[in-house]
Amino acid sequence: AQTVTQSQPEMSVQEAETVTLSCTYDTSESNYYLFWYKQPPSRQMILVIRQEAYKQQNATENRFSVNFQKAAKSFSLKISDSQLGDTAMYFCAFKGRDNFNKFYFGSGTKLNVKP
C-alpha cells in the first residue's frame, strides 16, 4: 500500500520569505504522480503543483517549486516570496499510474504566513 508522510504539522514564515514543506512517500510502483494541494480556511482544496515521476525536471508554478528526489522518495514544496494568502493547510498526495482510482494524501502541514 502507498503511504504519504508529512512530518511537519505546522510551520510559520514571515511574509516575503521562503519556506519549504517536506513530504516523503512509500511505494513499489515506478510510475506515479505526486501533488501538493492547498486547503485554505474556506475549505476548498486546490491543486498547487504536480510532478510526474518519470520526469527528472522539478516542476515549477510561479512562486511554487518542488524538489523531487525519486531515489529518496522525497517530494518537498518550496514557496518563495510568501504571501499572506498562502496561509493554509498543505497536503502532499500520491497517485500511481497503474491504479487509476486512488489518490493518497498525507496528514498535512499548516502554514502560517506572518505579516
Partner 1 sequence: DTGVSQDPRHKITKRGQNVTFRCDPISEHNRLYWYRQTLGQGPEFLTYFQNEAQLEKSRLLSDRFSAERPKGSFSTLEIQRTEQGDSAMYLCASKTAATNEKLFFGSGTQLSVL
Residues pairing with 78 in the sheet? 20, 65
106 binds partner 1 (CB under 8 A): yes
**Cβ 32 to partner 1 shortest distance, Å:** 10
28 binds partner 1 (CB under 8 A): no
Member of 36, 68, 75, 104 binding partner 1 (CB under 8 A): 104
The 33-62 site mask, x for binding partner 1 (CB under 8 A), equals x-x-x----xxxxxx--x------------
The grid coordinates of residue 17 equal: 520569505
CA atoms of 14 and 86, how far apart (whole Å): 11
CA atoms of 60 and 100, how far apart (whole Å): 24
- Write down the number of H helices and E strands in the chain: 0, 12
64 binds partner 1 (CB under 8 A): no
